[in-house]
Structure 1
Amino acid sequence: MSFVRTGMRQTAYGHLSATTAGIKFRRIALQSARGYASKLIKYNWEDALLLDSQLTDEEKMVRETARNYAQEHLLPGIVQATRTETFDTKIMREMGDRGLLGSTIEGYGCAGVSHVAYGLAAREIERIDSGYRSAMSVQSSLVMHPINEFGSLEQKEKYLPRLATGELIGAFGLTEPNHGSDPAGMETTAKRDGSVYRLNGSKMWITNSPIADVFIVWAKNVEENGKIRGFILERGMKGLSAPVIDGKMALRASITGMIQMDDVEVPVDNMLPNAQGLKGPFSCLNKARYGIAWGVLGAAENCLGIARNYALDRKQFGVPLARFQLVQAKLANAHSEIALGLQACLRVGRLIEEDQLAVEMISLIKRNSCVKALEISRNMRDILGGNGIADEFHIIRHLNNLEVTNTYEGTADIHLLTLGRAVTGIPAFAATD
């Protein structure tokens, strides 16, 4: 059907007069002209969907604080820290000085900023290295959050102010040598003995544990038929040790170890009173996963920026690498995935603030960001060729780190199954489900 039949009242709009139809067509033409004018707006590839315009002034301030700190204090030493597998504890105090630890918590010396602001900070720190963001994330989401959310007033007042400044360093013990994706199967136990609980067991792959002053440990309480409870342990308790894990090929700029407990006596008052079952540790993990979703995109952005500059400078066959279609395709794909991923993270951050978060949203963005960031790092490394494995170009470090972020805090496959359960209503985590 043509839109207007000359001399007839029948049009694509229905029974309208020719005059009315003409007016409508003129409106469409005007709208099209306006649409064309909008195409003249210059495209900013570094902020493709105008994320900056969606942020509050406070969020921008937090981002700039984290960016300046990361670029001025973390970047200069990252290559050497990775080579020597060292983490300087002063970094925690420096982050604390800038309000980056436990930043979403209200009171107790914490900044009390939005979750979007926290995500932006994670992005800037991980632009340098995932290990540094991990240290910040563990302190904020896995140690300070459970104390603030599930702790007593006395526990909050005792620990949070000193954790916020970085004076105290925290670690989180959930994963065990034989239990990763299935934390319900944990073997660590707590048994009441008068005024103390006796904790026995071990935790594995624990960020910060060798340098931690405070440990949030999850154990099955024998007196409650194995109900999972959280406990605050302190360095120096008899029977408690936290040996380092050496020889990592990723996250080398952060420190990782174990938590070993041999009849450790923990005062009854050190149990988190308001955490029962897996809801407690999962609440912590979802906080951390949210920050990871933002953070890994910062690492991916760094890889993209390095590869872009390299492709513009490096010449082969008499022209820059950026002149070749396959190179442009890799850069454009990376650019697209980062822009879309950031918008997803921003939206989830706003939903957290509006108390409209479904936990599956965390699985969606954590998995998406981690899978895409890892793919981006591999493709950007490829653009650099042999130079891509040299540590001074940074990409190979990001690539190795992103192999880990794709696995920890819930593997990509586990998050995929979480989403599959949401779509189908059928759990498929194990053969017995």
Structure 2
Amino acid sequence: MSIFSKVKQTFALMKEVDLDAIAKISKKIDLPEVMAAVGELDDRQLKGLMKMLKSQGKKGQHKLPPIDGDFYDLALQLTPEQRKIQIKVRNFMEDEIQPIANDFWNRAEFPHHIIPKMAKLNIAGLAYKGYGCPGETFLMEGIMAMELARVDVSLSTFFGVHSGLAMGSIYLCGSEEQKQEWLPKMQRMERIGAFGLTEPEVGSGAAGGLGTTCKQDGDTWILNGNKKWIGNATFADVVIIWARDEDSNQVKGFLVRKETEGFTATKMENKMALRTVQNAEITLDNCRIPESDRLQNANSFKDTAAVLKMTRAAVAWQAVGCARGAYENALKYTKKREQFGRPIASFQLIQNHLVEMLSNLTAMQTLCFRLSELQDQELLTDEHASLAKVFCSMRTRDVVSRAREVMGGNGILLEYNVARFVADAEAIYSYEGTKEINTLIVGRAITGYSAFVS
């Protein structure tokens, strides 16, 4: 549709609207500027505008406010360019992912066909500088995590593992040669990454001693051990494996390519959350890794922790997205669902649940917004990230619970787009540091005493 046709259609619609109202509006705004903006709208956005304009001409119709979880208008703090990125990603998620999310989640399969489409968004490695990465802010990286999780937490997790943990490990700990080899391809999503830290018997205690070991043998390293819960690992081109050096007892990182002899990734079955994510159990049986594939700047667990600190803020934002998706879907439902001849959104107890949900969501959003500002100012600490992870993962649990409650029995059906969020919130609650571990990090910071078991 041409710009002229769009403008012509819009003016035709405006004839149906109260002309006196238009005259009043013209005194407050620049109508030619508005028409120019209309000309830039895509068909989907124009359809929404036309629908809104038509509704204005219907006398006596009860006008309902839009469904928007950004109650404090934090999006207004973004630049116009950043806002365009946000809207682009939101449209992609609603148009491409929303229609298929429940089906792939239910079948516990991954929609590989969306990777090339996702690559066109140009958001992988969003906050990294160089190597083909956009060099945006960490705030925008958080906003992206929220937008992805708002529709599908599984896809957000896939992306967070690839762009955050895997690319982040190379970005922070890799040599210049390793960055040049991997980051441009991973940014274009031509190569997919995974991150192997957690083990069958080592989760929260990773800093205290990994069971997976590495031992240098000339110009190669021999890796042995097992990893568990490794997202993307069944199809990733490279897995970042963290292992304990048998000689120095320090943690080192390795780029393990999927074709490496002795490397096996077996899909984990029967999960109740993040079912679309392809988590794997990994076996490393005398895998020989060349020195050139050892992360050259990863020499202790402190380097591993630096990667986790950088990505933990995005996980807090992911919790915001999960809560926002549940809230917005529940609010939409309550406006349409009628009982006793009225929409249930008009009932006091339902409104109480909705306001409690929005209160939690707004608190989470504002906390994460400030968290990302600190990260962009290079002021982020472990305790900053941990506090956000603790608070947001707890509040998300409450939001999704209330979302399911206002929907009654329908809340447990996938087709109503809340049940997935209820289940996926449980995974967010545990990964990237449990509530208890992150609580102790914050507790140590505010009291000066470490309560960790040594």
- Distance in 2, Cα, partners of 1:169 & 1:293: 23
Partner of 2:78: 55
The CA deviation at 1:429 is 2.5
- Distance in 2, Cα, partners of 1:102 & 1:93: 15
The answer as to whether partners of 2:149 and 2:325 remain within 8 angstroms in 1 is no
The answer as to whether partners of 2:69 and 2:328 remain within 8 angstroms in 1 is no
The answer as to whether partners of 2:316 and 2:368 remain within 8 angstroms in 1 is yes
State which structure, 1 or 2, has the greater radius of gyration over its C-alpha atoms: 1
**Is residue 146 of structure 2 the alignment partner of residue 123 of structure 1?**
yes
The CA deviation at 1:220 is 0.7
Equivalent residues, number: 389
Partner of 2:99: 76
Q: Out of 166, 169, 184, which is 1:161 matched to?
A: 184
The residue type paired with residue 69 of structure 1 is F
**Is residue 346 of structure 2 the alignment partner of residue 323 of structure 1?**
yes
Partner of 1:368: 391
The answer as to whether partners of 1:126 and 1:298 remain within 8 angstroms in 2 is yes
The CA deviation at 1:110 is 1.3
- Distance in 1, Cα, partners of 2:88 & 2:290: 39
- Distance in 2, Cα, partners of 1:256 & 1:228: 23
The CA deviation at 1:91 is 2.8
**Is residue 358 of structure 2 the alignment partner of residue 335 of structure 1?**
yes
Task: Report the secondary structure of 1:47's partner residue.
Answer: coil
Partner of 1:423: 446
The CA deviation at 1:52 is 1.8
The CA deviation at 1:223 is 2.7
The CA deviation at 1:247 is 1.3
- Distance in 2, Cα, partners of 1:143 & 1:305: 31
Task: Report the secondary structure of 1:220's partner residue.
Answer: strand
- Distance in 1, Cα, partners of 2:148 & 2:226: 30
Identity value in percent: 34
**Which moved further from structure 2: 192-201 or 51-60?**
51-60
For the aligned residue pairs, the C-alpha RMSD in angstroms reads 1.6
The residue type paired with residue 296 of structure 1 is A
**Is residue 267 of structure 2 the alignment partner of residue 231 of structure 1?**
no
**Is residue 194 of structure 2 the alignment partner of residue 193 of structure 1?**
no
The CA deviation at 1:45 is 6.4
Q: Out of 383, 390, 410, which is 2:406 matched to?
A: 383
**Is residue 370 of structure 2 the alignment partner of residue 347 of structure 1?**
yes
The answer as to whether partners of 2:69 and 2:361 remain within 8 angstroms in 1 is no
Partner of 2:229: 205
Cα offsets for 1:311-370 (capped at 9, x unmatched): 222233443322332211110011111112111111111111111112211011112111
**Is residue 208 of structure 2 the alignment partner of residue 175 of structure 1?**
no
Structure 2 stretches of 5 or more lacking a match?
1-64
- Distance in 2, Cα, partners of 1:76 & 1:320: 26
Partner of 1:6: none
Cα offsets for 1:249-290 (capped at 9, x unmatched): 110122110221000000011111111211222122222221
Task: Report the secondary structure of 2:171's partner residue.
Answer: helix
The CA deviation at 1:61 is 2.0
The residue type paired with residue 217 of structure 2 is D
Partner of 1:302: 325
- Distance in 1, Cα, partners of 2:69 & 2:247: 56
Partner of 2:35: none
- Distance in 1, Cα, partners of 2:200 & 2:440: 23
Cα offsets for 1:39-95 (capped at 9, x unmatched): xxx999643222022112232122112111111111111111011111022333322
| Distance verdict in 2 for CA 1:109–1:116, change over 3 Å | same
The CA deviation at 1:128 is 1.2
The residue type paired with residue 148 of structure 1 is Y
Structure 1 stretches of 5 or more lacking a match?
1-41
Task: Report the secondary structure of 1:202's partner residue.
Answer: strand
Task: Report the secondary structure of 2:430's partner residue.
Answer: coil
Q: Out of 239, 243, 248, which is 1:215 matched to?
A: 239
The residue type paired with residue 422 of structure 1 is A
**Is residue 309 of structure 2 the alignment partner of residue 282 of structure 1?**
no
Task: Report the secondary structure of 2:72's partner residue.
Answer: coil
Q: Out of 257, 260, 265, which is 2:288 matched to?
A: 265
The CA deviation at 1:393 is 0.7
Cα offsets for 1:122-151 (capped at 9, x unmatched): 111111111100111011111111111111
